[in-house]
Amino acid sequence: MNAPAALLRDSSLSGSIGAGQDPCTAQQSIVELEPDESVEVVILLGQCASVGKARDLIEQYRHEDLDQVLADVTQHWDTLLGAVQVKTPDRAMDIMLNGWLLYQTVACRMWARSAFYQASGAYGFRDQLQDGMSMTFRRPDMTRAHILRAASRQFVEGDVQHWWLPHTGQGVRTHISDDRVWLAYATATYIETPGDVSILDEKIAFIEGPLLAADQHDAYFHPTESDESATLFEHCARGSDQCLELTGENGLPLMGTGDWNDGMNRVGEGGQGESVWLGWLLIRTINLFSPMAQIRDEDERVQNWVTHASKVREAIEEKAWDGEWYRRANFDDGSWLGSKDNDECRIDSIVQSWAVLSEAGEPERAAKAMASVEQYLIQPESKLALLFTPPFDKTSHDPGYIKGYPPGLRENGGQYSHAAMWAILAYTKLGDGNKASDLFNLLNPINHALNAEDTERYKVEPYVVAADVYSVAPHTGRGGWTWYTGSAGWMYRAGMEGILGIHREGKELTIQPCIPSDWPGFEASVKIDKTEYFISVKQVGDQTQLLKKKNTLERADRSGVRAVVDGMDIQITKNIVRVPLDGGAHRLNIHLSNKIKSVVKIQSD
């Protein structure tokens, strides 16, 4: 890279291409410049199905106004990514929220579904459902279309293809346990944003294929389209119904061959192991989706779901609390994973975050669990937020292929960024803007390449999120798998919805900031359809007293929220500012008067 051949010689390049060569392209154009002369060189990159079509495309663009083509592309992305633009005291946060995070989500995850580290082009059932939730603000049509696409990959029994190839429909059927839950979760989240209840009435066919044997992890095949079709509501409900059936002897959801963490594919392969994390997700999904069933007079289903959710919550609190945090899961033999009694994987991040995000964890325990996340998993000096610790290495209990990764890499005890974004959202749910902001800054890829030394350590692109960051020497702080990661969409939501508190609920825009105590405020411009708001948030009050202390949770009293729209005060309910999406242009000024409500010291037992 320091001495490119195309610049150091005037002879033509070799023109060689082929498998096994460097994954890059070198283009050469030789020009001679007179003094003060300039030349514009245009390089056209494209892809076509045949040489003939490629030549036609080249000929087309030879006659195009390329400046206008570039302007059109720029306008497209400005429109797509510019629905919300923010200006905060944190410039690195602004850069990510104002474009890069959604660009990564749309271009790589939703459209290409391919990157250097994963090039299949397949849809992952849970993957793009989560990605789509970050698009509900600006492009709810994209979210809607994918929810229906995903529902079409559900088997009549209620389970789904864990991933599939869109051109053929071939994919894999598994015993992975969380996929079916995300369909209802994503649907409820989508409906909350644009208020589009009509999506529940869309009819989609199921698919059919051979059932898996109890001891069979997965099967790759081409399913057939079933003669049976049902509404999207029924697709979601059927998946939820099946979850109720797949309950273990402790009252927790069965782990199957993996929940969110596919690498834990042997924790519950025998059909007995249970997932605590999936219990939290199921509870939250039932709470979000039950109102959809109530308006359809599905009273029996609602009763079954709500009763089951209550039992799962009781089971988690009775069986899975470990004293300072929640256990992660149990193996087929009943032994616990993610417990203080374990030598490896003693504490896992996601089950603590979802104790908060589910809104079901006992409040004091949930707060204590997040304090344990900070104490044991967040490493400010290394700029890491670990998935769990210690990594798997020599444990006699085989958790699955996750143990095949070297300790500290990828899911095996490194930073798995997807999970870390949930921790940001959990801190905002607890009202702790300091810890949420600190963690966002720690995870922001820009902050991993602020100087030459950091850049050499990180080694990957600083403008997109890396799925993982290594946590073990000599590779501590090295970025792993970039671009193709669902953490980009979740980071966008953590920053925009969690910290800045900007959200849409039907025909209203809501703002409920959870910003750090040392911010004077922030500004935002929001464009939704024909409505535009220019928002200014000012924070005043006892800022200096809201100290950032390890193992504390600081809750700010936001009873002093005042909002003024176009010079008129508006009423505030539950500290949430609500303004209508009425097609007009408005100026919204919000004043946050913070006072310490409580500072809770979390001590180890």
The predicted model gives 549-556 an average pLDDT of: 48
Residues 444 and 466: their CA atoms lie apart, in Å, by 10
Ranges 251-260, 329-338, 520-529, 545-554: which has the least confidence: 545-554
- Tell me the pTM: 0.92
Report, as an integer, the average pLDDT of 183-192. 97
Average pLDDT, the chain: 93
- Sign of CA pseudo-dihedral 350, 353, 355, 359: negative
Helix 299-315 vs helix 232-245: crossing angle, to nearest 10: 40
Beta-bridged to residue 596, according to DSSP, are: 556
Res 56: pLDDT: 95
pLDDT band at 500 (very low <50, low <70, confident <90, very high): very high
pLDDT, position 3:
79
Separation between Cα atoms, residue 287 and residue 32, nearest integer Å: 68
- pLDDT at residue 213 is higher than 50: yes
Higher pLDDT, 331 or 556: 331
Q: Inform me whether the pLDDT recorded for 109 exceeds 60.
A: yes
Q: Which two tokens stand for residue 302?
A: 């609602």
Kindly indicate the confidence band of residue 542, based on its pLDDT and cuts at 50, 70 and 90: low
Mean per-residue pLDDT, 82-93: 96
Distance, CA of 351 to CA of 319 (rounded, Å): 14
Confidence class for position 353, pLDDT limits 50, 70, 90: very high
Q: How confident is the model at residue 556 (pLDDT cuts 50, 70, 90)?
A: very low
If one compares 82 and 352, the residue with the highest pLDDT of the two is 352
Q: What percent of the chain has pLDDT over 70?
A: 95
Give the whole-angstrom CA distance, residue 241 versus residue 250. Answer: 18
Band the pLDDT of 544: cuts 50, 70, 90.
very low
- Which comes out higher in pLDDT, residue 16 or 196? 196
pLDDT at 546: 41
Quote the percentage of the chain above a pLDDT of 90. Answer: 84
pLDDT number for residue 58: 93
What's the rounded mean pLDDT across residues 387-393? 96
Q: What is the structure's pLDDT at 13?
A: 82
| Lowest-pLDDT choice from 10-14, 18-22, 72-76, 540-544 | 540-544
Residue 223's closest CA among 159, 307, 267?
159
Distance CA 413, CA 84 (A): 35
598 pLDDT tier (thresholds 50, 70, 90): very low
| Angstrom distances, CA of residue 365 to CA of 88, 276, 328, 382, 604 | 33, 15, 15, 28, 12
pLDDT at 559 over 60: no
Break the chain into its structural domains and give their ranges. 503-601
Q: Which of 40-44, 340-344, 364-368, 517-521 has the lowest mean pLDDT?
A: 40-44
161-189: average pLDDT? 97
Q: Does 604 have pLDDT greater than 50?
A: no
Read off the pLDDT band of 548 (50, 70, 90).
Answer: very low
pLDDT tens across 441-478, in order? 999 999 999 999 999 999 999 999 999 999 999 999 99
- pLDDT average, residue stretch 60-68: 93
In angstroms, the Cα distances linking 470 to 385, 476, 551 are: 10, 5, 25
Choose among 342, 53, 305: nearest CA to 181.
305
| Residues 420-429 pLDDT 10s | 999 999 999 9
State how far the Cα of 579 lies from the Cα of 58, in Å rounded to an integer.
50
Provide the β-strand partners of residue 587: 534
CA distances from 137 to 27, 186, 288, 325 (A): 39, 14, 18, 34
Q: State the pLDDT at residue 475.
A: 94
Domain boundaries 503-601, CATH class: mainly beta
SS (H, E, C) 105-159: HHHHHHHHCCECCECCCCEEHHHHHHHHHCCCCCCHHHHHHHHHHHHCCEECCCC
Q: Determine the average pLDDT of the residues in 264-275.
A: 96
Helical H segments across 204-330, by residue range: 232-245, 276-294, 299-315
For residue 438, the model assigns a pLDDT of 98
Which range has the worst mean pLDDT, 10-19, 254-263, 489-498?
A: 10-19
In which band, very low, low, confident or very high, does the pLDDT at 1 lie, cut at 50, 70 and 90? low
Angle subtended by helix axes 276-294 and 232-245, to nearest 10:
140
